[in-house]
Amino acid sequence: MKKQGTVQMTLLFVGDVMLGRLVNAVLQAKAPAYPWGDTLPLFQDADVRFCNLECVIADGGTPWSATPKVFHFRSDAKNIATLKAAHIDAVSLANNHSLDFADEGLFHTMSNVAAASIHYAGAGATLAEASAPAIWEMQGEKLALMAFTDNEPGWEATGEQPGIRYVPITLKDSRAVQLFEQVRKTKERVDFLAVSAHWGPNWGYVAPANHLPFAHALIDAGADVIFGHSGHVVRGIELYKEKPILYCTGDFIDDYAVDERERNDQSFMFVVETDGGAIVRLLLYPTVIEACQARRAKHHERGAIVALMQRLCRQLNTATTWDEQAERLEVRMK
């Protein structure tokens, strides 16, 4: 165990990063770093960076057509440079867009991500590969990312079929039981384990009731942080056994139309600080999407985003403090 008293590592999480459609078009003329806007320094300051990759990264491919699907998100292979510009270390591929361009698109995405030395979890050529944790070492500590989704059951990977790690949010489902057991076994091998959950509905600021016991079970099994996403808006943060549950981190980069009531253009950068293996601080930096670019929220816009998150956290008995000078919200860990 490392000596406590100083921050040993900072881990940054952002929600859905969608580089397709209009973002892809913008990147024909803009530099790879463009979509990160003025948030880029926070990525550079972190030791480890995670996101949910909400698109295929590949040149060409045939859109998925086996079952009805309205949206197909693909970004040119060269735009792997955008992930590299933010020094992204690991991505979740367990989501409802990883097979938008069928198996071929998934395989190209995995190849392009791996070639850029970015770790991934949650999808693969078989269930075993889709279920495997990404494990790597940073500053003498072993880190791991596991990823699953309750979206797109038709894309579930099997022993012979490529796909995503599909897990229903039902505690006694055999796939959930297997997930909890793998979390236990993985945690025995690593110092820090993040579990990515692409779950729940697109809308609604309150986490579905079944997410709470499921997240608790994941932490009981050994997860250090639950990294939730899929919804287009943020949801509250709960602390369970001094471990943060980010029920939904919302959208971070995309080209979506903005809903006036549920602001899908508003989110946060979630920064976890650890000391000796323990999580000692959780810091939230408010962000807004504008013109296919993430940026730090300012003035009254920032105040509205922060007030919303504080209200959502209070509903989960989580205390927060706003730091005006640092322009960030701190979740009180104890």
* 194 sits in which H/E element: strand 192-198
Q: Report the relative pairing of strands 192-198 and 141-149 from DSSP bridges.
A: parallel
With a cut of 80, say whether residue 302 has pLDDT above it. yes
Bridge partners, residue 124, by sequence: 163
With a cut of 70, say whether residue 4 has pLDDT above it. no
With a cut of 70, say whether residue 318 has pLDDT above it. yes
Bridge partners, residue 119, by sequence: 90
**What is the C-alpha to C-alpha distance for residues 93 and 55, in angstroms, rounded to an integer?**
9
Query: Position of tokens 């384990």?
Result: 193
Phi-psi bin for 252: left (phi > 0), alpha (psi -120 to 50), beta?
alpha
The pTM score is 0.96
Whole-number CA gyration radius for the chain: 18
CA 109 to chain centre: 17
* Nearest partner of 95 among 204, 218, 229, 236, judged by Cα: 229
| Per-residue pLDDT band at 2 (split at 50, 70, 90) | very low
Q: What is the pLDDT of residue 3?
A: 40
175-187 tens-digit pLDDT: 999 999 999 999 9
Q: What is the pLDDT of residue 200?
A: 97
* Nearest partner of 216 among 185, 239, 199, judged by Cα: 239
| Per-residue pLDDT band at 7 (split at 50, 70, 90) | low
Q: What is the pLDDT of residue 6?
A: 55
Buried-exposed string 211-245: b where 16+ CB fall within 10 A, e elsewhere: beebbbbbbebbbbbbbbbbbbbbbbbbbbeebbb
189-242 tens-digit pLDDT: 999 999 999 999 999 999 999 999 999 999 999 999 999 999 999 999 999 999
232-274 tens-digit pLDDT: 999 999 999 999 999 999 999 999 999 999 999 999 999 999 9
Residue 125: Cβ within 10 Å count? 16
What amino acid is encoded at 1 in this protein?
M
* Nearest partner of 48 among 130, 133, 141, 116, judged by Cα: 141
Give DSSP secondary structure letters for 93-151: --SSSTTTTHHHHHHHHHHHHHHTT-EEESEESSHHHHHPPEEEEETTEEEEEEEEESS
Domains of the chain: 9-296 (3.60.21.10)
Asked whether 155 and 149 are in contact (CB, 8 A), the reply is no
Give DSSP secondary structure letters for 238-268: EEETTEEEES-B-EEE--PPPPSSS-TTEEE
Q: What is the pLDDT of residue 1?
A: 30
| Per-residue pLDDT band at 138 (split at 50, 70, 90) | very high
State the DSSP code for 29: T
How much of the chain, in percent, has pLDDT values that exceed 70?
98
25-52 tens-digit pLDDT: 999 999 999 999 999 999 999 999 999 9
What is the length of the chain?
334
Q: How many helices (H) and strands (E) does the chain have?
A: 8, 20
**What is the C-alpha to C-alpha distance for residues 281 and 23, in angstroms, rounded to an integer?**
33
**What is the C-alpha to C-alpha distance for residues 331 and 334, in angstroms, rounded to an integer?**
9
Q: What is the pLDDT of residue 66?
A: 85
Token pair recorded at residue 285: 């930096």
